[in-house]
Amino acid sequence: MKQAKNHLIGGITGGIGSKLAVKLSAEGDRVAGYARKAPAGDPLNSQNGFMLKTCDATEPEALESVINEFQQELGSIDSYTHAIGSIYLRPAHLTPVEDWLQTIQTNLSSAFYALRTVAKIMSKQGHGSCLFFSTAAAQTGIANHEAIAAAKGGIEAMVRAAAASYASRGLRINAIAPSLTDTPLSQAIIGSEQALEISKRMHPTGAIGEASDVASLAAWLHSDQAKFVTGQTFVIDGGISTIVPKPKV
C-alpha cells in the first residue's frame, strides 16, 4: 500500500501549481501550499484537504517563516515545488533596470530563498524531493527573452549544484523547463486568436503546452518511480528547443 506523502507547493493557486495540487491529492497524498494572494473563488478553496497560506516568496524572512509553519503543521515536507515565476519579453536594450531586478527577484531569488529553507528541513528528515521551474528559453536562444532566460538559466545551475550538495542527505533536486503553456500567466501573450496561432506555429508539434502536461511530469518527479533522478532539467516544449521540423508541403 502506498504511503501518503506531504507535498508543499509554492504558487499553489497558479495554473501549473493548482493542477499539480489536484493531481497529488487525487493520488491520496496531503497537499499544502502558499501563494502571494488567494483569488476569490479559487477552486482549491472548495476542496477538502488543502492547507493554504499567503506569502510573498520574494520576502525571504516571511517565506522562511511560512515554510517552517507548514513543517510544524504537517509533521514533514516530503516534496517541495516552486511553481512561482513571471514572463518578461523585451530585448535587453528596452529592459529598464527596475524590470531586470524584478525579474531576477521573482524567478531566481525566490527559488533560492525557498531552497535554503526547505533543504534545511529535508536534511534533518533525511529525505525529500525539490522541484523548480526553468524555461525552454534557457535551453535555446529565443528573441526578446534575455532577462527571463538569465533568471531561469540561473535556476538550472542552482539545481545542479544543490543536487550535488544534498544528495548524501537523501534529497533529490530537479527542474522542469516548459515552453509557452496555457495558464493565466500566459494570457497576455496568447489572449487573442491570432497571437495563439502564431505561438502554436513556433512549436514543431503545432501546439502550446497545457498545465496538466507539466503537472504530470512534476508529479512523476516527486514519486518513488523517480528515486534515481536528481540534478536534471526536463524540457517539455513541443520540440522548440531541439528540433527543426520538416516543412509542410
Kindly report the pTM of this predicted structure. Answer: 0.93
Asked if 13 and 53 count as a contact pair (C-beta separation under 8 A), the reply is: no
Amino acid 248: pLDDT: 73
- The burial of 70, by beta-carbon neighbours within 10 Å (0-12 exposed, 13-18 middle, 19 or more buried), is given as buried
- Do residues 123 and 96 lie in contact, with contact meaning Cβ atoms separated by under 8 Å? no
* pLDDT for residue 41: 55
Give the Cα separation of 141 and 118 in Å (integer).
32
Residues β-bridged to residue 84: none
Q: Classify residue 169 by its DSSP letter.
A: G
At residue 7, the pLDDT reads: 98
Pairwise CA distance, residues 15 & 49, whole Å: 19
Q: Which three cell numbers stand for residue 240?
A: 522548440
Q: Which domains does the chain have, with CATH numbers?
A: 6-236 (3.40.50.720)
DSSP 53-105: EE--TT-HHHHHHHHHHHHHHHS---EEEE---------GGG--HHHHHHHHI
pLDDT along the chain (249 residues), means of 10: 89 95 95 84 62 96 98 97 94 98 98 98 98 93 94 98 98 95 80 77 82 96 98 92 78
